[in-house]
Structure 1
């Protein structure tokens, strides 16, 4: 009712209905606000729609195949290129070679091998001179009794032992002197010149023993040894002929197997370097997923460097395996010193590839890189049991591979251990790569 007494009609939404007598009353209808309060709704989250996959055209497929081929060839050529620079800088250059093997004049195994050989040769010559026998015959000719002559012959064995000890001391003094170092350096310079001519196909100038072994000729020490033995009072020293000493450095029949490889790489280091870099760079640029291609390329270069380090040690062992055990010590020292520079080059390549691989893995874009970084972050904040779960397998396997790589690059290991570590690196690296699932990023 209004203030002036008029009656205001009340609007209705429809005709009023009166329930029949005895019928139960219907509950009042809920308003939208009451319904929302009684039954709150949950927000519905819709996962983001994945972008539609782009169809791979035949041209794109062929470019991907070409990219893979170029990357594989580039990784294979990395150790070949390193070897070519090593051949040019150490094997073909005489002064560089002498600079490497010259310090081996003070190597204990080289000195021992030279001492044993020179002592044996001097004693062989003295035995052939038969100083005691000649002295006995001269005394008999002068009229001494047979009994006295027989007594003199009994002195031959102890005198020979004392003579050998004296000869060994004299030879040891010479081998540890500056004179030996000078002769050793000059002999290696001559031997290297002959080795190069062998690798170039000329076998007529190579100093070899009768069984075809390659030697470093030390006959320049003959006059020094003879004079020193005379001064030491060794009987018959003045009658000694030239005592030719030599250090066996390899099997000539096996070294000739390197002739083809030597000719192949000696003049191509810079060409190989340009080709290798071009193959790797173009291969990565042609790839459809360049981050993935970069990771695989760096991993391939790293594995190639590790495998070649092991191959260098296997090759060094093979080069001296055909020698007599007495010659393997000195020959092993020489081969080890010569191939050490190659292993250093490969280690530098390995360290660079490893650093680039880690940086690329942690800073690259794309779902795999994001999944890897998420695995690292989650593992840093969770317990070990969670860290070794399947979603963290990339981190665990990658850590195993990383430790093995660092050990191989930092230390010289036995061949068997090195081969085992290379296998672990390949398996763990593959597992880390395959278990990095991009789908985890959206989880």
Structure 2
């Protein structure tokens, strides 16, 4: 073009005069351009400015999408924590499977047996009985039997407590203890008072009164009348120890507020990032990838937290293995939620990539369209044109497919714990439905063309 030729001519003239004394040469100005050249120059200037603006928009979009991913991770953890800490039904359902855990049963049995034998002082009772027998003429050799008798009584108590802990009754006792404890925890955190679960300094302790009462009744029923002499006992089981427990009430109020604010903030940041991105498809794909990475990091953090939690257990925790199993039970829904969101985000990112202009994505789409068209031709050739229904599906296929995706997302929202398998199942069902819609619509068109 003449404008470009003029620029090149000026460049050659400048190069030719390099090293010589500067002379006044005529330069090309906008006034020297005709209308077409001026239009081309303005287009090039606009393109250059657009590239600068596009870069700035991508920078802003990436910042917002990263913030959305971080906020989404925080929202996931906060909502989980809020439901576990302040929702008694959710907590009881989460804890109920632990009654089958042998380490938990063993720790509870040891704690209850120790409380009973300590309150009875079996050794003193046996010594008192031996002295009474000897006073009435019993042989001195009975002194040698005091220790074995005390050991036998202790073993008998242990057996009866173990029988309670491993009975069907323990399931209901465990459920009752956890419900009562969690209700007390909610009261504790909201300042309404405490109950079965309470704070003892830095220790969070659980009242095992129902289990103790059941063991006492079983001992009396088995003929061990001394158990009836047991005074009223307060048997507690230390669940965890932390210096932060006294600050729980303030943390609970903040947790309850954050559980509402953070999810809304994450969605708002994601929407803003996608909106300002020069390519909304790529923006959504990047946002989904960032969110997936964040959820995988959350999963890793929970695993690392388990090691830190176990390393920080105090001496008041009788069974570290039971505490580890308790941590696993309490966090399994958080891990499941992180995995679920990560897989869902990866599916969204994959869909965005498949809709893109890349060579691989184009090849995949071409292959899918070829399979669709081939199957549609087979159906049309067999006389399956689906009539007016098929024509309606073809005309409305985009709204129908959009509604299918929306229904799939609603399905996942209403599904309490879909897990990875649930997300994959919903994605597969939606994909198959969309494929059927495409085939039916195309078969209808092929049948009408052949008619």
TM-score, length-normalised on structure 1? 0.63
Residue pairs, 1:187-336, within 5 angstroms: 187-200=177-190, 207-208=197-198, 212-234=202-224, 236-256=226-246, 262-320=252-310, 321-324=312-315, 326-336=318-328
Q: What's the offset of the Cα at 1:261?
A: 5.0
Q: Secondary structure at the match of 1:102?
A: helix
Q: Which of the numbers 331, 346, 371 marks the counterpart of 1:354?
A: 346
Q: Which of the numbers 109, 112, 119 marks the counterpart of 1:118?
A: 112
Q: What's the offset of the Cα at 1:286?
A: 0.8
Q: 1:231 to 1:199 in 2, by over 3 A?
A: closer
Give the structure with the higher percent helix: 2
Match of 1:416 in 2: none
Match of 1:48 in 2: none
Task: State the Cα deviation string for residues 152-192 of structure 1 (Å, max 9, x = none).
Answer: 11102222222222222211111122332222222212221
Match of 1:156 in 2: 146
Residue pairs, 1:382-393, within 5 angstroms: none
Q: Secondary structure at the match of 2:318?
A: helix
Q: Secondary structure at the match of 1:250?
A: strand
Contact kept? 2:82, 2:256, Cα under 8 Å = yes
> 1:180 and 2:174 equivalent?
no
Residue pairs, 1:100-119, within 5 angstroms: 100-119=94-113
Match of 1:135 in 2: 129
Contact kept? 2:285, 2:350, Cα under 8 Å = no
Contact kept? 2:185, 2:194, Cα under 8 Å = no
Match of 1:401 in 2: none
Task: State the Cα deviation string for residues 245-294 of structure 1 (Å, max 9, x = none).
Answer: 43332225344566555433323445433322221122122123444433
Q: 1:241 to 1:205 in 2, by over 3 A?
A: closer
Root mean square deviation, CA, Å: 3.4
CA distance in 2, matches of 1:257, 1:280: 33
Contact kept? 2:73, 2:294, Cα under 8 Å = yes
Q: Secondary structure at the match of 2:319?
A: helix
Contact kept? 1:284, 1:294, Cα under 8 Å = yes
Contact kept? 2:185, 2:198, Cα under 8 Å = no
Q: What's the offset of the Cα at 1:74?
A: 0.6
Q: Structure 2: give runs of 5+ residues left out of the alignment.
A: 1-42, 367-418, 422-451
Q: Secondary structure at the match of 2:239?
A: strand
Larger radius of gyration: 1
Q: What's the offset of the Cα at 1:82?
A: 1.7
Q: 1:109 to 1:126 in 2, by over 3 A?
A: same
CA distance in 1, matches of 2:260, 2:197: 33
Match of 2:88 in 1: 94
CA distance in 1, matches of 2:304, 2:193: 26
Q: 1:137 to 1:250 in 2, by over 3 A?
A: same
TM-score, length-normalised on structure 2? 0.62
CA distance in 2, matches of 1:256, 1:98: 23
Q: 1:183 to 1:79 in 2, by over 3 A?
A: same
CA distance in 2, matches of 1:118, 1:65: 62
Q: Secondary structure at the match of 2:237?
A: strand
Contact kept? 1:230, 1:237, Cα under 8 Å = yes
The number of aligned residues is 323
